[in-house]
Structure 1
Amino acid sequence: MSQKVLITGANGQLGKELVELFTAKGFEVYGFGRDKMDITNQAQVQEVISTLKPNIILHSAAHTQVDLAESEPEQAFSINAYGTRNVAVAAEAVGAKLVYVSTDYVFDGTNDEPYNEFSPTSPLGVYGKSKLAGEQFVRDLHSKFFIVRTSWVYGKHGANFVKTMLKLGKERKELSVVADQRGCPTYTLDLANAILELVDTEKYGVYHVSNSGNCSWFEFAKAIFEEAKLDVVVNPCTTKEFPRPAARPENSVLQHMSLEVNGFSKMRDWKSGLTHFIGTNN
Structure 2
Amino acid sequence: MKILLTGANGLLGSAIMERARQLGIACEPMARPQLGRDTVQLLQSSLDGYDVVIHAAANTNVEKCEVEPENCYADNFLLTELIAQGAAKASVRMVFISSTGIYGAWQDTPYREYDAVLPTTHHHCSKQMGEQAVLAAHGANLVVRTGWLFGGPAANPKNFVARRIEEARGASAGFIRSNREQRGVPCYNADVAQRIIELCQSDAAGIYNCVNSGNASRLEYVQAIVELAGLQVEVRPSDAASFNRKAKVSNNEMAECWKSAALGWPALPLWRDSLARYLNGELKDFGK
Same fold, TM-score > 0.5, yes or no: yes
Equivalent residue for 2:84, pick from 88, 93, 99: 88
Question: Within 2, Cα distance between the matches of 1:41 and 1:270?
Answer: 41
Deviation string for 1:201-224 (max 9, x for gaps)?
Answer: 112110011110001000000100
Equivalent residue for 2:45, pick from 46, 50, 54: 50
48-57 vs 241-250, which moves further: 48-57
241-250 vs 179-188, which moves further: 241-250
Kindly state the Cα deviation for residue 37 of structure 1 after the two structures are TM-superposed: 2.6
After superposition, the CA RMSD in angstroms is 1.5
Structure-1 residue corresponding to 2:160? 161
Question: Within 2, Cα distance between the matches of 1:52 and 1:239?
Answer: 44
Kindly state the Cα deviation for residue 42 of structure 1 after the two structures are TM-superposed: 6.3
Kindly state the Cα deviation for residue 104 of structure 1 after the two structures are TM-superposed: 1.5
Question: Within 2, Cα distance between the matches of 1:123 and 1:48?
Answer: 29
Equivalent residue for 1:31, pick from 13, 29, 32: 29
Amino acid at match of 2:234: V
Alignment of 1:161-240 (within 5 A): 161-172=160-171, 173-240=174-241
Question: Within 2, Cα distance between the matches of 1:28 and 1:147?
Answer: 21
Deviation string for 1:42-65 (max 9, x for gaps)?
Answer: 635642552342101111010100
Deviation string for 1:163-196 (max 9, x for gaps)?
Answer: 2101112211311100001110011000000101
Question: Within 1, Cα distance between the matches of 2:243 and 2:18?
Answer: 36
Q: How much identity, in percent, do the aligned residues show?
A: 30
Unaligned runs of 5+ in 1: none
With structure 1 as the length reference, what TM-score do the two structures score?
A: 0.94
Contact 2:150/2:189 (<8 A) preserved: yes
Question: Within 2, Cα distance between the matches of 1:44 and 1:29?
Answer: 22
Contact 1:85/1:134 (<8 A) preserved: yes
**1:107 and 2:106 correspond:** no
Give aligned pairs, total: 277
Contact 2:43/2:83 (<8 A) preserved: no
Amino acid at match of 2:275: L
Deviation string for 1:88-137 (max 9, x for gaps)?
Answer: 11111122221100001212223022110011111001000000010010
Contact 1:92/1:143 (<8 A) preserved: no
With structure 2 as the length reference, what TM-score do the two structures score?
A: 0.92
Question: Within 2, Cα distance between the matches of 1:42 and 1:135?
Answer: 22
**1:141 and 2:137 correspond:** yes
Question: Within 1, Cα distance between the matches of 2:239 and 2:57?
Answer: 31
Kindly state the Cα deviation for residue 160 of structure 1 after the two structures are TM-superposed: 3.0
Contact 2:103/2:118 (<8 A) preserved: yes
Contact 2:39/2:82 (<8 A) preserved: no
Alignment of 1:115-134 (within 5 A): 115-134=111-130
- Runs of 4+ displaced beyond 3 Å: 39-46
Question: Within 2, Cα distance between the matches of 1:204 and 1:39?
Answer: 28
Unaligned runs of 5+ in 2: 284-288
**Structure 2 vs 1, CA of residues 129 and 55 (structure 1 numbering), >3 Å: closer, same or farther?**
same
Amino acid at match of 1:165: R
Report the secondary structure of 1:121's partner residue: coil
Deviation string for 1:62-91 (max 9, x for gaps)?
Answer: 010000000110101001001110111111
